[in-house]
Amino acid sequence: MTPSGRTPAVYLDYNATAPLLPEAREAMLRAFDTRPGNPSSPHAFGQAARDALETAREALAGRLGFTRREWLFTSGGTESNNAALRWLADLPPPVHLITTPIEHPSILRSAEALASRGVEVSYLPVGGDGVVAAERLSGLLRPETRLVSVMAANNETGVLQPLERIATLVREARASGRCRNVLLHTDAVQAFGRVTLPLGAWGFDAASVAAHKLGGPRGIGGLALREGVQLPGFLLGGAQERGRRAGTEAEPLAAGFAAAAAWVFDRLPEMSARLAGLRDRLERRIADLPGRFVNGGDAPRVPNTANVGFEGIAANSLIVALDLDGVAVSAGSACSSGALEPSHVLRAMGLPESRVRSSLRISLGWGTSEADVDRCAEALRTHVLRLCG
């Protein structure tokens, strides 16, 4: 629902949050109705909840190439990203972090907080196509580098980053003895359920994901963490989540998360092809409009995301006009939607300010139809021609 109570006829903001899959809703209702116990309780009710929680944990971890013991449930991607970075502040100096300027705000704000506490932060540059310069990583690595964090897919442009190459460079640095203690993390929130990510096989030590991007419930995510990584507890209290995140686990949400992931991953090749076709159809149908451009269009992208715009037309004007027509899109990260500053991602790509301020993010998902895409394209045509006139 929109704040006015009106349901948009066309919802194309899946990168902010996806509508809840029926399978996830059913799994959660079943958990609420049949498993009332606390997963930490010793009685039969508690053990039923514990068994369901561990089943969900194992299924989710395996989709990234990790084991059940290597998965922590969190409240979502932001908490997972904070947990993956903020422990660096407690290490004895010198400590060095490498990340990129196109990360989600939860990574960038964490990096700023670390810098204020003495951690040195380096940023891997990004090209105009939205792809980070992976080959520059070797020149940034040094003995005190303790973490490299590079997102899997950008939340605004959908551009996929060269994670396998980055993992190779980190492994080579470890093997040479130059960076013996460096760990490798990725924010995989926008890539999980959209592309195959064998992160465990590639050698990643940690990865952040969130349920609501693929059709699971809001309020739950995960941090995959290779066994042996000494991450200190980040929520203190009980012994839940191997002593790292205290508090009663949200087993019904975990069940919904696992059910959504099962539905999506069972259909991943088919759905990826369908969404890529719909994205390309949208971009083709607006290709002849004045000043039209596509950010990141020449780079590998997740199949559901188009970052487009029209020279001379402010993105906010189009967002409002489209919303009044019942078409929901955005200008970038939902976590930055209240800010007046233009996209830090597009600025880091070196795009002109006029283009930065004109860019829309259109993101598709499991419920998107051809009719939805055509409706969006026609609405864009109407408003772009009106605003150009």
Q: From CA 13, how far away is CA 307, in angstroms rounded?
A: 12
Range 317-323 contact pairs with CB under 8 angstroms and sequence separation of 24 or more: 317/383, 317/387, 318/360, 318/380, 318/383, 318/384, 318/387, 319/360, 321/379, 321/383, 322/376, 322/379, 322/380, 322/383, 323/2, 323/8
Whether 5 is covered by a domain: the verdict is no
Query: Is 211 in the same domain as 329?
Result: no
Query: Is 140 in the same domain as 231?
Result: yes
Among candidate residues 265, 294, 325, the one where a domain is terminated: 265
Q: Is 211:256 a contact under the CB 8 Å cutoff?
A: yes
Query: Is 158 in the same domain as 179?
Result: yes
Query: Is 75 in the same domain as 171?
Result: yes
Cα-based distances in Å from 288 to 170, 308, 322, 377, 380: 44, 13, 19, 11, 12
Count the domains in the chain.
2
Q: From CA 52, how far away is CA 259, in angstroms rounded?
A: 12
- Helix (H, G, I), strand (E, B), or coil: what is residue 340? coil
Residue 125 sits in a domain of what CATH number? Answer: 3.40.640.10
Query: Is 287 in the same domain as 320?
Result: yes
Q: Which of 179, 335, 376, 388 is catalytic?
A: 335
Q: What is the band of 388 on the pLDDT scale with cuts at 50, 70, 90?
A: confident
Q: What is the band of 1 on the pLDDT scale with cuts at 50, 70, 90?
A: very low
Whether 3 is covered by a domain: the verdict is no
Q: Is 376 an active-site residue?
A: no
Span 62-86, mean pLDDT? 98
Whether 297 is covered by a domain: the verdict is yes
Residue written as token pair 């039969």: 44
Residue 309 sits in a domain of what CATH number? Answer: 3.90.1150.10
Query: Is 168 in the same domain as 70?
Result: yes
Whether 322 is covered by a domain: the verdict is yes
Whether 81 is covered by a domain: the verdict is yes
Whether 2 is covered by a domain: the verdict is no
Q: What is the band of 342 on the pLDDT scale with cuts at 50, 70, 90?
A: confident
Whether 4 is covered by a domain: the verdict is no
Nearest to 212 by CA among 1, 5, 25: 25
Report the chain's mean pLDDT, rounded to a whole number: 95
Q: What is the band of 336 on the pLDDT scale with cuts at 50, 70, 90?
A: low
- pLDDT tens per residue, range 198-231: 999 999 999 999 999 999 999 999 999 999 999 9
- pLDDT tens per residue, range 114-149: 999 999 999 999 999 999 999 999 999 999 999 999
Query: Is 157 in the same domain as 232?
Result: yes
Query: Is 252 in the same domain as 221?
Result: yes
Among candidate residues 238, 265, 292, the one where a domain is terminated: 265
User: What percentage of the chain reaches a pLDDT higher than 70?
Assistant: 95
Q: From CA 320, how far away is CA 339, in angstroms rounded?
A: 16
Query: Is 250 in the same domain as 345?
Result: no
Nearest to 203 by CA among 66, 98, 54: 66
Whether 272 is covered by a domain: the verdict is yes
Query: Is 277 in the same domain as 351?
Result: yes
Query: Is 232 in the same domain as 85?
Result: yes
Q: For the chain, how many residues are written?
A: 389
Query: Is 201 in the same domain as 63?
Result: yes
Q: Is 376:322 a contact under the CB 8 Å cutoff?
A: yes
Among candidate residues 219, 236, 265, the one where a domain is terminated: 265
* Domain extent for 341: 10-20+268-388
Q: Is 222:73 a contact under the CB 8 Å cutoff?
A: yes
Q: Is 39:66 a contact under the CB 8 Å cutoff?
A: no
